[in-house]
Copies of this chain bind each other. A is one copy, B any other.
Amino acid sequence: MANKREKKKVVLASGVFDLLHLGHVKFLEEAKKAGGKNAELIVIIARDSTVEENKGRKPIMPENQRRALVESLKVVDEAVLGFEKFDLGDVIERVKPDVIALGYDQADMEKGVQEYVDKHKLTVKVVRIGKFEEDELDSSSKIRKKIVEKFSR
């Protein structure tokens, strides 16, 4: 086992990445680390329509900008827009990840992903990345809140 040749692992992460902040970058860095040395990190960016369906409102930044901004990060090898009609099986089929990394706020997704992986007997490791508590402005909703407090009458 110790001498097993190390193959480059593909790590899949996903999210909305509205109002990009350091918490996003740290999540992506930890996600990539979960794939070991030389891992490749592919990030699926949630479509505007998917976010609207789930949260009842579109993100502040449109999907093309969110995608391009995430792909401009050093840690990211490729950022792609999700399917309009989100389907986990399709995503796994297309990306063929060795590792699927989920954020602290993706608990619901973790259950679904693990069930899918078990059901299809895939050799995909599902990892959960913790939240980074070191700063107050580590979530898009907190940033929005601060802006509204400061600038609205």
Contacts and interface: CB of A to CB of B under 8 A. Distances in A.
A73 interface: yes
A60 interface: yes
Select the residue from A65, A75, A145, A152 with max chain B CB neighbours within 10 A.
A65
A4 interface: no
A42 to B, nearest CB: 15
B20 A60 contact: no
A68 B22 contact: yes
A8 interface: no
B152 A69 contact: no
A1 B142 CA distance: 55
A146 B73 CA distance: 24
A19 B143 CA distance: 9
A73 B153 CA distance: 35
A137 to B, nearest CB: 6
Interface string A30-53: 000000000000000000000000
Contact of A21 (B22, B69, B150, B151): B69
Contact of A143 (B61, B135, B145): B61
A72 B74 contact: yes
